[in-house]
Amino acid sequence: MKHGFMKKAAALGTAAVLTAGMLTGCGNKAETNKNGEEIVELTWYQVGDAQADDKEVFEQVNNYLADKIGVKLNVVKVGWGDYNQKMQVVINTGDQWDLCFTCSWANDYLQNAQKGAFLELDDLLQEQGKEMYDAIDPRFWEAAKVGGKTYGVPSEKEIGSCPMWVFTKEYVDKYDIPYEDIHTLEDLEPYLQLIQENEPDVVPMYLTKDYTAPTYMDKIQDPIGIEYGDDTLTVQNVFETEKMKSTLQTMRKYYLAGYINKDAATASDDKSIKRFVTKGDGQPYAELTWGKDLGYEVVASQIMDTQITNASARGALTAVNKNSEHPEKAMELLNLINTDQELRNILNYGIEGTHWDKVEVTEEEKAAAEGKPYIYDYKAKLNPEKQKDYSAPYWVQGGLFNTYVMDNEPLDKWATFKEFNDASMEAPSFGFDFNLEPVATEVAGFRNVLDEFGKSLYTGSVDPEEYLPKLLDKLNATGVDKVIEEMQSQIDEWKASK
Amino acid sequence: MSVSKWKQYRMDRKREKMFRNLEDQQCEYNKIKKSTNVLFNAILTILSLLSVIPFIFVIIISFTDEQALTMNGYRFIPEKWSLYAYQYIVSAGENILRSYGVTILVTVVGTVIGLLLTGTYAYALSRKTYAFRSFFTKVITVPMLFSGGMIANYLVMTKVLMLKNTIWALILPLCMNSFNVIVLRTFFKTSIPDSVVESAKIDGASEWKLFFRIVIPMAMPGLATIGLFLTLGYWNDWFNALMYIDNKDWIPLQFLLMQIQNSIDWLASNKSMMGVDGIQAAANLPKETIKMAIVVISTLPIIFAYPFFQRYFVNGLTIGAVKE
């Protein structure tokens, strides 16, 4: 009796497995497009929150892609704060994915490339990706190289980091402040005093906990790196440079004079606080974004020349999974996104006629932009009602320069970006990647020390005479010298091979 | 005569007074001094205000006008009241309402399944007559002390059980908890006397009937406690959604909230790296008032769930007075 039951159960089980197999077999039957090509599905992990109308937009994208290159996208959007953790799991467990967003500040490009999670793209770039390869600024490709191999397709946008002073326009106009001539921290002093004397309820210099004092160095591994313009390539601790020492003194002076808000080391941006100047990290037309965010107009001036570092040029890349089944298709897709205007604009703004409308550019405006690159016949006008249902971070999907500019932006916006990029200077350390493995333990200790002292020193909340030596002592105790030595030897090797 | 009467009277009075004093003294022992009483009341008032005020504040912010909020910061009496946040949730926040539904579904289904599994497992362990008792006790204690870690969990869930992007990925990981099983086993052991089980068996009850008709009603306070643990666990869970759910249609409310908050925090702390891109990204996130409104709607049901469970907690104090 018992045996009979077992037998039956076994038979039933086998039958169930077989049927299941058959069912999935049927489900996998390949779809084909109108050219008879098989459509492959690519899974693409992107950073940024999911949007209400994602489904509709990607339906349209997929229809377009199916006919064009026989690809169907499965885009997985992961929230900003969760992206790092999620990608770690997805990559380490060998989960099914084809493309993912990566950069210097999220889902770390360098580390993933070094440990072999991403596919080497050099050959594919010469085949399926040729068109795109030629279109994008070679310096982006240079930055994308890790150990001489390319592991990601950069999104073309601003290439350098460009710290700026951001002034509230109201006070600049009122006191006629020549903001364009203000560059260094020291330049600010007379105007801070002026504001303090005349505007009692305005904070002359409003800083928050994420503030770092102007740093004239590429911090390859915070706090050590190579100073801008130092062609001898000497690795230094930023807190031991003369520039930083005097900067911290000045910050302290401003703090004691009451120019800086007292809670600077712990504050997070409170927009209700009226301020005269604050620090921002900019790009062309950044004033418009800041102004919109704050609710009043601002003007800005560059603190130093724009510098290109590995971190800044790796601001956004898309990598292909080492184990992807369809690397050629993935490359074809990236190539199309970076060269095809129609596709790029759907991805960027959503469905035309629903989320945005094409607006024709006036003849005058077109004439004024004559001869400049990246000029298109249309601008995009977002539909205020529907826009919130689809707003994606543009640079996650691909380069910006083949998108339409918005109707309130100048037609030559991308040309200006291009000029900005061309004018940016390469930092001496540009192209050098630090392999931190030999000193990983030492580096792990830096974070704690910097968290403990960094914010209060940068904002001038504590006296650098007293606390800077303390910081240096602690860094020495965690082995900063060893890291400097290691980096120096690596950089010498790199220099010799260049 | 009169003298002795008087003496008697005096003695009575004296005794009376003595007793009264004694009584008074006894009362004094049980009473706290008035000043201490005031002090304790003040401390407790402050403590309860400390926990209530933030929530009242959240409610007020959710009814504040967004513009007024950016202009003036948080205020107890805002310059301008507004229902905008709630209108937004009802009209534009389809995903918020959907997530609300997901949370409710997961909580209800999960609590029922969880109680059933935990209850039956714990009951079996509590019966002395069960043969594999010590083996299954070990099975349940080991994961309480050791766990496979995130990666191992993820592999089992996605590759072996194939639960990725299913509602079960939100329900199953939380429904069995070693700690709950052990609490409930102890509860069964102490509150269900063997004699009750025995007498039910003599009366002809099957094991199922015994469990559902005798044991469960007697163990209601214990089950209610575990039920509350499970309900809270499910209601507040966001981690499983982070790991296993990519489809935004199956995101629970807490994860939605967590995601918004995580994004805001992350964008704020990476401001210098992302520059203008970060500000643009932050501008697309829900505003402060909407965030607070989501907190309000996600907290209210759980507040109402407490008194319901409380009834059983009070019962729990009186039960267990079994005479052997």
Q: Is A395 in CB contact (< 8 Å) with chain B?
A: yes
pLDDT at A30: 62
Q: Among A363-377, B5-19, B307-321, which stretch is predicted with the lowest mean pLDDT?
A: B307-321
The answer, yes or no, to whether residue A16 has pLDDT greater than 50, is: no
Query: pLDDT tens digits for A408-422?
Result: 889 999 999 999 999
Shortest distance, CA A126 to any CA of chain B (angstroms): 30
- How many Cα atoms within 13 Å fall on the side-chain side of residue B40? 6
pLDDT digits (tens, 9 = 90+) for A286-325: 888 888 888 899 999 999 999 999 999 999 999 999 999 9
Residues of B in contact with A395 (CB under 8 A): 277
Question: Is residue A24's pLDDT more than 60?
Answer: no
Question: What is the Cα Rg of chain A in Å?
Answer: 27
**Which of A402, A407, A475 lies closest to A439, judged by CA?**
A475
Mean pLDDT of the region A81-109: 91
Q: Mention every residue, 6+ apart, whose C-beta is less than 8 A from residue B281.
A: A48, A80, A393, B263, B267, B274
* Residue-level pLDDT at A391: 84
Mean predicted lDDT score pLDDT of chain A = 89
pLDDT at A37 over 50: yes
Q: Once rounded to an integer, what is the mean pLDDT over residues A98-127?
A: 93
Beta strands A40-47; A99-102: pairing state: parallel
- Return the minimum-mean-pLDDT range out of A140-154, A215-229, B281-295: B281-295
The amino acid that residue A28 corresponds to is: N
A465 touches chain B (CB under 8 A): no
* B261 at interface of A, judged by CB pairs closer than 8 A: yes
Task: Give burial (CB, 10 Å; 0-12/13-18/19+) of B11.
Answer: exposed
pLDDT tens-digit series, residues B51-63: 999 989 999 988 9
| pLDDT tens digit sequence for B152-204 | 888 898 889 999 889 999 999 999 989 899 889 988 888 888 888 888 999 99
* Site from B238, B276, B285, B287 to mutate, A interface, most A CB atoms within 10 angstroms: B276
- Helix A440-458 crosses helix A242-256 at what angle (to 10 degrees)? 40
Residue type, B66: E
Which of A48, A52, A283 has the CB atom closest to B94's CB atom?
A: A52
CA B252 – CA B8 distance, rounded (Å): 83
Instruction: Determine which of A268-272, A338-342, A484-488, B234-238 has the lowest per-residue pLDDT on average.
Output: A268-272
Q: Cβ of B265 and A95 within 8 Å?
A: no
Q: What angle do CA A397, A398, A402 make, to 5 degrees?
A: 125
- Kindly tell me if the per-residue pLDDT of A28 is higher than 60: no
Tell me what pLDDT residue B300 has. Answer: 83
- Select from A17, A41, A49, A158 the residue whose CB has the most chain B CBs within 10 Å, as the one to mutate to test that interface: A49
Placement of tokens 């330049």 in the chain:
A187
Task: Calculate how close chain A gets to B303, using CA atoms only, in Å.
Answer: 28
Of A48-52, A169-173, B237-241, highest mean pLDDT: A169-173
Burial of A252 (0-12, 13-18, 19+ CB in 10 A): buried
Lowest mean pLDDT among A69-83, A208-222, B32-46, B247-261: B247-261
Residue A407 has pLDDT above 70, yes or no: yes
How many C-beta neighbours within 10 Å does residue B270 have?
A: 17
> Does the distance separating the beta carbons of B275 and A282 come in below 8 Å?
yes
Reported as a pLDDT band with limits 50, 70 and 90, residue A14 is very low
> What's the token pair of residue B93?
């926040």
Percentage of chain B exceeding pLDDT 90: 24
Between chains, do B280 and A393 touch, taking CB under 8 Å as contact? yes
pLDDT tens across A360-403, in order?
998 888 888 888 889 998 999 998 888 878 888 889 999 999 99
Q: How far is CA A94 from the centre of its chain?
A: 25
- Sort B73 into a burial class: Cβ within 10 Å, 0-12 / 13-18 / 19+: exposed
- Where is pLDDT greater, at A67 or A385? A67
How far CA A404 is from CA of A346, A350, A366, A375, A427, in Å, comes to 10, 12, 13, 8, 31
Please count the CA atoms within 13 angstroms of the CA of A28 that sit on its side-chain side: 6
| pLDDT exceeds 50 at position A477 | yes
pLDDT at residue A371, as a whole number:
86
Whole-number Å distance between alpha carbons of B252 and A324: 31
Q: Specify the higher pLDDT residue, B49 or A385.
A: B49
What three-state secondary structure class fits B285? coil
pLDDT digits (tens, 9 = 90+) for B261-307: 888 888 877 776 777 777 777 777 777 888 888 888 888 888 877 77
Q: What is the mean pLDDT of chain B?
A: 83
Q: Does B268 touch chain A (CB under 8 A)?
A: yes
Asked whether the predicted pLDDT for residue B209 surpasses 60, the reply is: yes
Higher pLDDT, A159 or A5: A159
Confidence of residue A220 (pLDDT cuts 50, 70, 90): very high
Which chain A residues touch B279 with a CB distance below 8 Å? Answer: 289-290, 293
Between CA B229 and CA A296 the distance in angstroms is 49
Chain B CB within 8 Å of residue A280 CB: yes
Predicted pLDDT at A170: 94
Most A CBs within 10 A among B277, B285, B291, B294, hence the mutation to make, goes to: B277
pLDDT at B314: 59
pLDDT at residue A18 above 50? no
Highest mean pLDDT out of A150-154, A402-406, B179-183: A150-154
Q: What does the pLDDT average to over A254-277?
A: 90
Q: What are the chain A neighbours of B277 within 8 Å (beta carbons)?
A: 315, 393, 395
Distance CA A446, CA A487 (A): 15
DSSP category for residue A48: S
Inter-axis angle of helices A341-349 and A54-69, to 10 degrees?
Answer: 170
- The more confidently predicted of residues A23 and A334 is A334
- Determine, for residues A210 and B71 on separate chains, whether the beta-carbon distance falls below 8 Å: no
- The dihedrals phi and psi of B77, each to the nearest 5 degrees, come to -115, 95
Q: What's the pTM? A: 0.79
Summarised one tens digit per residue, pLDDT across range B243-263 is 898 887 888 988 888 888 888
Phi first, then psi, for residue A26 (nearest 5°) are -65, -45
Distance CA A233, CA A236 (A): 9
* Predicted local distance difference test score (pLDDT) of residue B324: 39
Give, to the nearest 10 degrees, the angle between helix B220-236 and helix B168-175.
Answer: 140
Q: What is the pLDDT of residue B313?
A: 66
For residue A21, pLDDT over 50 is answered with: no
For the ranges A114-128, A366-380, B16-30, which has the lowest average pLDDT?
B16-30
pLDDT of residue A327: 94
CB contact under 8 A, A81 and B263: yes
Q: What is the mean pLDDT of residues A42-68?
A: 91
Instruction: Give the model's pLDDT for residue B92.
Output: 67
What's the confidence (pLDDT) of residue B262? 82
Is 50 exceeded by the pLDDT of residue B73? Answer: yes
What pLDDT is stored for residue B23 in this prediction? 61
- Nearest residue, CB atoms, A281 vs list B73, B150, B275: B275
